[in-house]
Amino acid sequence: MRVLLIEDYLPLQKSVAKGLREAGFAVDVTGDGADGLWYAAGEDYDAIILDLMLPGMDGLTLLGRLRTQGSNTPVLILTAKDALSDRVQGLNLGADDYLAKPFAFEELLARLRALVRRKYAQKNPRIEVADLLIDTASKRAWRGGRELHLTAREYELLAYLAMRAGETVSRADIWKHLYEFNSEVTSNVVDVYIGYLRKKIERPGAPTLIQTVRGLGYALRTED
Amino acid sequence: MRSLRTRLLVGMISGMALLLIIFGLFVYTAMARALREQFDASLTATARTLAAAPELEEGEFELELDERLMVEFQPSERPDYFQFWLGDGTVLARSPSLGERYELPCFAGPIEAPVHRPVELPNGRQGRAVGIEYRPSIEDGGRTAEQAAVRLVVGRDAGELAAELRLLRLLLLSGGFAAVMVALLVGGLVVRQGLRPLSLLASRIAAIREDDLTERVQGDPLPTEMLPVVGRLNQLLGRLESAFERERLFTRDVAHQLRTPVAGMRSSMEVALSRSRRPDEYRESLSDCLAIAKRMQTMVEDLLMLARLEAGQAVAASERVVLTQLVDSCWRPFEPTAAERHVAFENRVAPDVSTIADHGILSMVLSNLLANASEYTNEGGSIWVCARFASGSVEMAVSNTGCHLSADEVCHVFDSFWRADPSRTDTDLHCGLGLALVQRGVSALGGTATTSLTGDDVFTVRLTLPAGG
């Protein structure tokens, strides 16, 4: 999952970005409101974490502009302002969630995952495709009752495909949701990771779950 | 005497008692005098009747007393007394009531102005006597001739007079006492009634809750004498309300300002602890946390300083401070960053300008002003400090170029936590308390601080400090 973190207090920006990356998110970071809007408008993020007091452009203005531009990306406001009026104003302007500083990092992660699930219309944190089971809360996966031992990147790839289970997901989409803005990977890294994932998921005798849709991308579903 | 009621009552009753005593004494004196005069007048009348008694027959005095008149002078329980003397002091006649041994004192005045005197009577009682001296008339062939003088003293028991006076005293005393008692009762009721508005005011004050200082004391049915109290009380409440509001906003701001660094520290530590890491990763997290802790420490110290200045506890000692030296020493810490940003600094303070002030506070004020100036001066800009004596005070000005504040924003620079760009609170070491500290510090030193902005983006903070002798 790829998120945008807009926070100008550097120590917080650094630790939150580090924590999110370690939790498997791809994170783009900026400390400036105007830059934040530019990032948000240019990329299809799974969620945006937004501070309110920002240089360049304040968070509420940014949010307002983003929604006027037609973006539906879930936005989580993260701020020291926690008066009821601030929260109401933020939510009225189109924020999806509100978290007051200081916060528990686990809570930020949980809220972020809930936002991402909502984006893909997945309310249940457990996704099932045939005998494949993915628990997005605990970030674990099982096939036929046996747990799969996935790296963070492999899990994120599987979870992304599972969120859009049944759909054909393009290589560009996968790349965009798994890699940060300035990462130096090429798009064929997606094929490499699909390969790793297949080795761990597919088993002889069981139906193939990761389908290659020639010229379009991949899909997580049982063969028609 | 702490009680207003007692004080009023005691004052009222003592005043009234004093008045009654004066009145009683006056009445008593006048009445006693009138009674005594009446007594003496009757005594004189008796004496004048008696005075006609002696007659001279053939060169000898003879008393011709009416039997009925003599009844009074016979020995009885309370008889009257008389005694006649001739001019040579021989006793001419005595009333039978005087008995054998007793003599009335011999004193006299002319018949038209008799002399009255208290005397002791034979039975030991107190009495009054009148003395007259006259020449009895001699009837000798229709001719009246001058004869030798005769003295007559008539005495009478004054027991009745004393009893009347005693009764008068008793009447006056008991009347006075009753009047005081009635006054005490009525006065008590009146004072209690009069002080009832005080209890009403007390209950109204008690109804004001500490969590709602917008309420005011109603002065409606209270007596006019208490309205100034109500007015002052309401003014006090108004001042308290605004002070509490300021305090509340300040506390909210403090909490708000602490949230972000606390969030940074917490997430740094939570992320660091979320898995096992290499020592250098822990070291990095710890140094991040240390930097945050230092920032919070600065803020807490600034807040404490602010609180101390506001409570007036910070001024410790007054000493002569040579301003040009102070400016140089306060500028030193900012020199490296200023040099990096090509900011020119000029200390224009003449060496003879000095003031008597608390060195610590003055250098805190100046350091904060210079910190502020060095932070906001444009790259390649300049900072300068001037000072001069001006009629009993020292004026000092710290100016810097490159100010982008509007005239409206300049008015807010002394507010706690005010920043032209609110987001800056989260990023640098200072947290918007510097200029608030400057203002509180200067006022603790007995001076004032003002700001100005000139057209060429020059921001100046002017301090007026007492020159201190």
Test B288 with A9 for CB contact under 8 angstroms: no
Helix axes A84-92, A59-68, angle to 10 degrees: 20
* Residue B271, min C-alpha distance to chain A (Å): 5
Minimal-distance CA residue of chain A relative to B269: A15
d(CA B164, CA A5): 114
B270 falls in which pLDDT band (50, 70, 90)?
very high
Q: What is the β-pairing status of strands B60-63 and B143-144?
A: unpaired
In order of their start, the domains of chain A are: 2-119 (3.40.50.2300), 126-220 (1.10.10.10)
In this prediction, the answer to ipTM > 0.90 reads no
Does this model's pTM top 0.80? My answer is no
pLDDT tens per residue, range B32-77: 999 999 999 999 998 888 887 777 666 666 777 766 667 788 888 8
Amino acid at A6: I
Nearest by CB to A53, from B262, B271, B422: name it: B422
Whole-angstrom CA distances from B381 to A104, B339, B419 are: 44, 11, 21
Chain B residues touching residue A102 (CB < 8 angstroms):
259, 262-263, 265-267
Q: Which helix (H) or strand (E) holds B341?
A: none
pLDDT tens per residue, range A138-196: 888 998 888 889 888 888 888 888 888 888 888 888 888 887 766 666 667 888 888 98
In order of their start, the domains of chain B are: 4-166 (3.30.450), 224-308 (1.10.287.130), 316-466 (3.30.565.10)
* Residue B281, min C-alpha distance to chain A (Å): 11
Taking the mean position of all CA atoms in its chain, how far away is CA B242? 29
Q: Which two tokens stand for residue B183?
A: 């006054």
CB contact B256 to A (< 8 Å): yes
Chain B residues touching residue A54 (CB < 8 angstroms):
423
Test A80 with B285 for CB contact under 8 angstroms: no
Question: What does the pLDDT average to over B332-337?
Answer: 89
Minimal-distance CA residue of chain B relative to A57: B423
Chain B residues touching residue A51 (CB < 8 angstroms):
426
Test A105 with B266 for CB contact under 8 angstroms: yes
* pLDDT(A224) > 70: no
According to DSSP, residue B378 is labeled P
Test B274 with A105 for CB contact under 8 angstroms: yes
CB-based contacts of B30: which residues, under 8 Å, 6+ apart? none
pLDDT tens per residue, range B300-323: 888 888 888 877 776 667 888 899
- What per-residue confidence (pLDDT) applies to B360? 84
Test A16 with B267 for CB contact under 8 angstroms: yes
- What per-residue confidence (pLDDT) applies to B427? 42
A6 falls in which pLDDT band (50, 70, 90)?
very high
d(CA B153, CA A176): 149
Strand, coil or helix: what is B97? helix
